Amino acid sequence: MKFRIDRDALADAVAWTARSLPTRPTVPVLAGLMVESTDGGIALSGFDYETSARSTVDADVADEGRALVSGRLLADICKSLPGRPVDVSVDGTKVSVVCGSSRFSLQTMPVEDYPQLPAMPTASGTVSSDDFATAVAQAVAAAGRDDVLQLLTGVRIELEGSRISLLATDRFRASLRELTWFPESPDASATAVVPAKTLSDIAKSFTAGGELTMAVATGDQGPGLIGFEGSTASGTRRTTTRMLEGEFPKVRQLFAANALTVAYVDRQELIDAVRRVSLVAERNTPVRLTFSDGQVLLESGSGDDAQAQETLEARVDGDDIVVGFNPTFLLEGLQVMTEPAVHLSFTQASRPATLAGVQELGGEPNTSFRYLIMPMRLPG
Amino acid sequence: MRRQATVLHLDLDAFFAAVEQRDKPSLRGRPVVVGGLGARGVVSTASYEARAYGVRSAMRTAEARARCPHAAYLSGRFDAYRAASRIVMGRLREISPLVEPLSLDEAFVDLAAGDDTRDLDLDGLRALAEQVRADVAERTDGLTASVGIASSKLLAKIASELAKPDGLHVVTPGTELDVLAPLQVRAIPGVGPVTAERLRRLGVQTVADLRGVDLPDLTSLLGSAYGTSLHALARGEDHRPVVAERETKSLSVEDTFETDITDPRVLADVATMMSRRVSERLRGNGMSGRTVTLKIRHHDFETHTRSATLAGPTDDGRVIARTATGLLAEIDTSSGIRLLGVGVSGMADWVQDDLFVTDEDAPDEGLSDDRVSDDGRSDEADPDDGPDGRGPLPDADAGPETGGLPEAARDATTRTPPATLRSRPRWAPGADVVHAEHGAGWVWGSGLGRVTVRFETRHTGPGPVRTFDADDASLRPGTVEP
């Protein structure tokens, strides 16, 4: 194996592929990054039996072949190389990396021990990579972080015709994000639950613009697989990850309730006020919001301890309501919204409240992202 | 022990039964039994008329029915008991800021706290206590209380027992040992039938006999903690302070079974039912908790606890049940379980509800009721590590008990009817009802789609009995008069 390649293209591709490599692999070869040179370019791949990553980059290939080297080390080296073309070649059991007057020699790992990467699923469609990254960042806000309930650490992806729905919940709050995509077949229908962290990393890594191809394969045996593929200036990137199995809670129906009270508040003002007021909220205590004519009063703390209050301007339609929220749940939802104001709808103080972004007080909320929180209440 | 008699103990006489007799004039002067009415129910309180027939607290209701078939058997009205209890505790707080309620019907009061100018000689104490007893009777429309005053909690409690019913007993400082000596060992709170039987085998019947047993023998018989404490109590040595408003650090329910249970499904039903009782008590106290603990005692008395911490505090019986049964599933129960307990700790003032808890998780009530031997533990929150031997769930128990009696039978203070009965169908015997035409009354009996109501209240004389269809729209559940 022998090739010459652009330094930035190599560094980007290695960094992207090595990103998902395990830091403490169960088998040593899984810490490796496979480098293959073929006619006209190279392919880099990594795999940890959950997530696979494969990227291709254009290169001047003098000699075809492949080698397995430490992914972390190669990524660190490429990141710090000077801005000159890089020559990579195999020399016996060593891989040599030469760039300008820098010279590295890396130990190889046995290629034959490396597992076969799963194939990219075929049934697919495309979506704007930027739209998808935004949508995922919003949906994952409500995903569980407790590994005891592993399924809830996932995001449920529903593909139905030209609509993608992303749903997440940790049992106390829930999110529903909808966006459109272009399926190859107009009657496409599939679902997948993907670990939120993995999905988030993948979506963020494809934001260089352009289209993202997404494909779902339901597993005949064992868990199904979801694959993503996008292109860069100098090649392609493809990643697959295993789905989580189990019956995901019925999140969508939670959003059906009719509101009795609707409130509009400036989003950034509300974030800042919740942050301030919650400074005195002890663990397990809420920020209490009282919505009445033209304002919302935020309160936290109790008479025995520190207390805080703040009043914000708000437009309130319907009955006055007092509701308590875990301040973290409230902030995490508000922070992923993009509109200048937030639309809050309530039925009763003990029932879930739904938040959505809105351009102006009194406007029509953007229902493509809705975030629902179960309020806290006094016992009894 | 104090030099002056400044600990007051007040105990309402046959409390639940007395409330029933107050509110149901036709039952006054007649035997009344409040407790579990199901196949395996136990007696919570028997009126003095029923006690004459040998009916006792913690006796199986079936045995009580055999001894006293003509008594009125009622399933209990907790709201009414709580309302009466609030009045009594309120009166006690007028005497001193230091009031320590032990359950709905008894409390300690520290007379040395608060008013410095109080007259603590014997005549002054007697006058004070008689005034309290008179006020309690007046404010509760006729409930009677017995009061003991002494230099320690132990003696004050024994004194109120000696004063029963409707009396006052003051132990003159210096005479404590003389009062204790002739009493049966069971007079010492915490000594139940099991401990009494063990002591009897040593030839110990009275407290004087117990004083003759040296400490090493007592600790080898009863364990270190319990033996040491009993050794001291036998000598009248009791320095426990009266503690007001003990902060609740945990709340739990546990039962010892009549026979060991091996079937994991039955145990799961029991744990689910207990979770519901924990939830009721949490809600009754306006509290929530974040950590759910399951306590298991195996057939050989080996005792384990397992716990799990939730993402947010809860008071929901379904969430507690789901967590408790999850913990239970990890335990091998095949060799037989003699005791099961469910509790919560990590107390909080707020509840974070779950979006996905549905009624599908609700327990099968009928199933649980039939299988559980309910011990009727106190309805009050169990304060963590309370001085009365009832610790939180992971307690170092006072010692292995044998025989079929519920664990709490050792404890003379527990008279709560089984919580399993509180969620019974609408027309439970004794329950308050209001009829659109006939007014307020109580359920005399029900069955076969019919319900019989006696129309009387504490303010009327004995009233007439009428029978209606069980779904008669003009008949509604009644409310509690404080």
The pLDDT of residue B420: 34
Q: Per-residue pLDDT for B431 more than 80?
A: yes
One domain, residues A134 and A94 = no
Q: Does B289 touch chain A (CB under 8 A)?
A: no
Q: What is the distance between the alpha carbons of residues A120 and A216, in angstroms, rounded to a whole number? A: 9
Q: Are residues B17 and B142 in the same domain?
A: yes
Question: Which three-class secondary structure string do you get for B227-259?
Answer: HHHHHHHHCCCCCCCCCCCCCCCEEEEEEEEEE
Edge to edge, the sheet with strand A287-292 lists A307-313, A295-301, A287-292, A321-325, A376-377, B351-352
pLDDT tens-place string over residues A91-138: 889 999 999 999 999 999 999 989 999 888 886 899 999 999 999 999
Closest among B5, B217, B41, B40 to B122, alpha carbons compared: B5
Q: Is B105 annotated as a binding residue?
A: yes
User: Pick from B282, B284, B312: which is nearest to A284 by CB?
Assistant: B312
pLDDT at A266 over 80: yes
**Same domain, residue pair A281 and A331:** yes
A347 within domain boundaries = yes
What pLDDT, on a 0 to 100 scale, did the predictor assign at position A24?
85
Burial A339-355, CB ≥16 within 10 A → b, else e: bebbbbbbbebeebbbb
**Residue B161 lies inside a defined structural domain of this protein:** no
Radius of gyration over every alpha carbon of chain B, rounded to an integer in angstroms:
23
Q: What's the domain range around A186?
A: 125-242
What confidence score (pLDDT) does residue B421 get? 32
Tell how strand B145-150 and strand B168-170 pair up: parallel
In this prediction, residues A183-198 reach a mean pLDDT of 90
Range with lowest mean pLDDT among A347-351, A370-374, B32-36, B384-388: B384-388
Residue A57, in any domain of the structure: yes
Better-predicted residue by pLDDT, A95 or B370: A95
The answer to whether residues B387 and B411 belong to one domain is: yes
Tell me phi and psi for residue A73, to 5 degrees. -65, -45
Domain count, chain B: 4
Residue-wise pLDDT tens digits, A238-254: 999 999 988 999 999 99
**B349 touches A at CB < 8 Å:** yes
What would the pLDDT profile of A143-169 be if each residue is shown by its tens digit? 998 877 889 999 999 999 999 999 999
B350/A376 CB distance under 8 A: yes
Question: Integer distance in angstroms from the first to the last C-alpha of chain A?
Answer: 72
Instruction: Provide the pLDDT for residue A219.
Output: 62
Quote the pLDDT of residue B18: 96
What CA dihedral angle connects B23, B25, B26 and B28, to 10 degrees? 100
Q: Which amino acid is at B230?
A: L
List the CATH number of the domain containing B194: 1.10.150.20
Highest mean pLDDT among A164-168, B213-217, B229-233: A164-168
The pLDDT of B434-456, averaged and rounded, is: 90
Contact with chain B for residue A285, Cβ under 8 A: yes
In terms of domains, do A129 and A238 share one? yes
Q: What is the pLDDT of residue A336?
A: 96
Claim to verify: residue A19 and residue A72 sit in the same structural domain: yes
Q: Do B290 and A284 touch (CB under 8 A)?
A: yes
Question: Residue B119 — very low, low, confident or very high, per pLDDT cuts 50/70/90?
Answer: confident
Is the residue at B412 inside a domain? yes
Instruction: Name the phi and psi angles at B69, rounded to 5.
Output: -65, -20
Identify the residue whose tokens are 């930027």.
Answer: A130
C-beta of residue B55 within 8 angstroms of C-beta of residue B33 = yes
Q: What confidence category does residue A220 fall into, taking pLDDT thresholds of 50, 70 and 90?
A: low
Q: Does A311 touch chain B (CB under 8 A)?
A: no
Q: Is the pLDDT of residue B416 over 70?
A: no
Region A201-215: mean pLDDT is: 86
User: Is A309 found in the same domain as A224?
Assistant: no
DSSP A113: G
Question: Does B223 lie in the same domain as B123?
Answer: no
Highest mean pLDDT range out of A81-95, A197-211, B104-118?
A81-95
CA distances from B33 to B15, B20, B184, B406, B455 (A): 11, 9, 26, 18, 20
Cis, peptide link before residue B392, omega less than 30° from 0: no
C-alpha distance from A272 to closest chain B C-alpha (Å) = 23
Nearest-CA residue of chain A relative to B319?
A: A171
Q: In terms of domains, do B254 and B388 share one?
A: no
Give the integer Cα–Cα distance in Å for B146 and B135. Answer: 13
Q: Is A312 helix (H, G, I), strand (E, B) or coil?
A: strand
Verify that B314 and B427 share a domain, yes or no.
Answer: no
CATH code of the domain containing A89: 3.10.150.10
Residues B110, B11 share a domain: yes
Residues of B belonging to the active site: 106
Select from A242, A267, A302 the last residue of a domain: A242
CATH number of B286's domain? 3.30.1490.100
Q: What is the pLDDT of residues B185-213, one digit of tens each?
A: 988 887 877 788 889 988 899 999 999 99
Tell me if chain B has a CB within 8 Å of the CB of A146: yes
Find the residue in A nearest to B286 (Cα): A379
Domain range holding B312? Answer: 250-363
Segment A305-319 shows an average pLDDT of 93
Q: What is the mean pLDDT of chain A?
A: 92
Rounded CA separation A81/A99 (Å): 7
Average pLDDT, chain B: 81
For A378, the closest of B312, B350, B354 (CB atoms) is: B350
- Establish how many alpha carbons lie within 13 A of residue B295's alpha carbon, considering only the half-sphere containing its beta carbon: 22
Neighbouring CB atoms inside 10 A of A122's CB total: 10
Q: What does the angle CA B255 – CA B261 – CA B265 come to, to the nearest 5 degrees?
A: 100
Residues of B in contact with A305 (CB under 8 A): none
Does A252 map to a domain?
Answer: no
Q: Which chain B residue has its CA at the smallest distance from A248's CA?
A: B356
Q: Quick check: is B13 in a domain?
A: yes
pLDDT the model gives residue B246 = 62
Q: Both tokens of residue A367? A: 């229902």
When pLDDT is averaged across residues B141-170 and rounded to a whole number, the result is 94
Q: Where are the alpha helices (DSSP H) in B315-406?
A: 317-328, 365-371
